[in-house]
Structure 1
C-alpha cells in the first residue's frame, strides 16, 4: 500500500473531524458508543496520517528481495572482475621479474628459492593416486522418525565432520588436498555457517567433496581409525547421512590461486 503525505493539513483535518464527532447532538443523549466511535475514528485517523507522513509517497511494504538479489549479482560480477584483474597483474609482475632475473643475479636466486617452495606450499598442481571422501546431509527429516525424532542438527554435515576427514587424511600421509576443488594450504580454515561450508571466502553447499593425493591404503586406514569419522559413519547408519569413500588411481589436485595475504608471520628456526 502506498501512502502520500498530507503534512500538517492532514493532522488538522483529522482533529477537526474527531472534535466534531465528540460533540453531542441536541436531540440525542450521549451513550458509550456515541463517545467511543469518534475516539476510535480519531485513533485510526492518527494512525493513517502517521503512516502517510512516514511513507512520504513510498511503499511501506515493498518487497526488497529483488533488489537484494540484484545487489548480490552485481557484487559477484565485481568480485569476478577484480579477480581477473588481479590475476593479470600477477602475471605481469611475474613476467617482469623473469626478465629482470636474466640480468640480476640476486633476483634470479630469489626466484629459484621461491620455485623450490611453490610445490610444498600448494601453489602447483599435483597428480597421482589418492582418495576422495564425500559427505552429504540426510534427505530425511525429523518427522520421518516418529516420536523419538532426532534434532535437525543430527541430519546435516557439521564443521567438525569435515575437519575430522581432513585431519585423518593428513594423518594418513596426504601430500596435497582439495575441498570442493579448492586447494587446502597452511592458512586454510574449514568453517561452517548453517549447513554451508565457508572456505577462502567462498560458500559451498553439500555434498562436500574432499580429495587427497597420497598412498590410498594408508589414508583409508587413517579414516577407519579416526574417532570423528567413526562417529559420522554411525550417524550415517542412524540418520541416513551420506558418506562415500573412493580410491582414485590418478586424480589431479589443482594449485591454490587465492589470496596469499598474511596478517602475521614468524621466521622458521
Structure 2
C-alpha cells in the first residue's frame, strides 16, 4: 500500500494539466475587467463618484433655494413700497386706454360704404388707364380717414376692426388687412353720428375724385353709402407687437 503522504502519479499528472488552464482563465478574466473598468475601480470608484455627484447637486439645490427665497422677499418688498394707490392708478390708466385702442367691442348707429371694381367687360372696353376702374388701397384708406375725421368711435373693413397700427396694403387685385387678403367688394363701416359721417364722406376731396370714375360710360367703379340703425365692431384680437427694421452693425 502506498504511503498517504505521497500522491499517486495519475493525480500529479492531472494537476499539471489543469494548472495552465486555470492560469489562462484567470488572465482572461483580468483582461475583461480591465477593459470594462476603463482604468477605474469597478466597485469603489463608481460608488465614490456617485456620492460626490449627489453631494454637489444637493449643494447646488440649496444655493438655488436660498436665491429663490431672497428674490421672493425682494418682490414682496417692492410690491409693498408700490402701494395700493399706485397699482390702482396703473389699472385705471389701462382701462382708459383699452377702449380707444380698439380692444373692446363697440356698437351703435353707423354708416356703411361699399366700394367695388368695374365689371370686366367695362374694363376691357375702357380706353383709358385700366387702373381707373379698380379700387385701390388709397380709396379704402380715404373712406376710413373720413370716418375718423367725422368722429367715428370704431371703423371696420370687411368686418375687421381697425386700430392705430393697421396697415392697408394692395397686392395685385386684392387688399391685405392684418395679414389676410380680401377681394372686392370692400365694405367699410363707421360707427358714430350718421349725419356727421355722411357729410364728411360726401365732401372729402379724395373720395370726390373716386366718385368721378363711377360715371364712366359703360360702367365705372361703384360707390354705395348706406346709413345703418345699428352696427357692431368687434374688439381687435390680433397681435399688438410692432415689427420694425433695425440698423445693421458693422
Same fold? TM cut 0.5: yes
* Matching residue of 1:168: 146
Cα deviation, residue 263, structure 1: 4.3
Aligned in 2, Cα 1:136/1:111: closer, same or farther, shift over 3 Å?
Answer: same
Aligned to 1:125: 105
1-structure distance, mates of 2:122, 2:97: 50
The aligned residue for residue 136 of structure 2 is 158
**Which residue pairs with 2:188 in the alignment?**
210
Q: Which runs of 5+ in 2 are unaligned?
A: 1-82, 245-250
Tell me the residue number matched to 1:193. Answer: 171
Give the conservation status (yes or no) of the 8 Å contact 1:142–1:149: no
CA separation in 1, counterparts of 2:224 and 2:129? 23
Secondary structure of the 1:160 match is: helix
Q: Alpha-carbon deviation of 1:171?
A: 1.4
String of CA shifts for 1:153-182, please: whole Å, max 9, x gaps: 122101111111111111111111111111
Deviations 1:135-166 (A, max 9, x none): 01111435753xx6233212210111111111
Say whether residues 1:240 and 2:244 are aligned partners: no
| Normalised TM-score (structure 2) | 0.59
* Number of residue-to-residue matches in the alignment: 160
Matches within 5 A, 1:173-184: 173-184=151-162
Distance 2:138 2:123 in 1: 25
Q: 1:136 and 1:207 mapped to 2: Cα distance?
A: 4
> Per chain length, whose mean CA-contact separation is higher, i.e. which structure has more relative contact order (CA < 8 Å, sep 6+)?
2
Cα pair 1:133 1:244 within 8 Å, conserved: yes
Relative to structure 1, the CA distance from residue 213 to residue 115 in structure 2 (aligned partners, 3 Å threshold; closer, same or farther) is same
Q: Measure the CA separation in 1 of the matches of 2:114 and 2:122.
A: 23
Tell me the SS of whatever aligns to 1:129.
strand
Q: 2:237 aligns with which of 246, 252, 257?
A: 257
Q: Which structure would you say has the larger Rg?
A: 2
- Residue 33 (structure 1) aligns with: none
Query: Would the aligned equivalents of 1:141 and 1:155 in 2 still touch at CA under 8 Å?
Result: no
Measure, in 1, the Cα distance between the counterparts of 2:237 and 2:170: 22
Distance 1:181 1:159 in 2: 16
What TM-score do the two structures reach when normalised by structure 1?
0.55
Q: Distance in 2 between matches of 1:191 and 1:251?
A: 25
1:90 aligned residue: none
Q: Does the 8 Å contact 2:174/2:182 carry over to 1? A: yes
Q: Following superposition, which runs of at least 4 residues in structure 1 exceed 6 angstroms of deviation?
A: none
Deviating more after overlay: 154-163 vs 118-127: 154-163
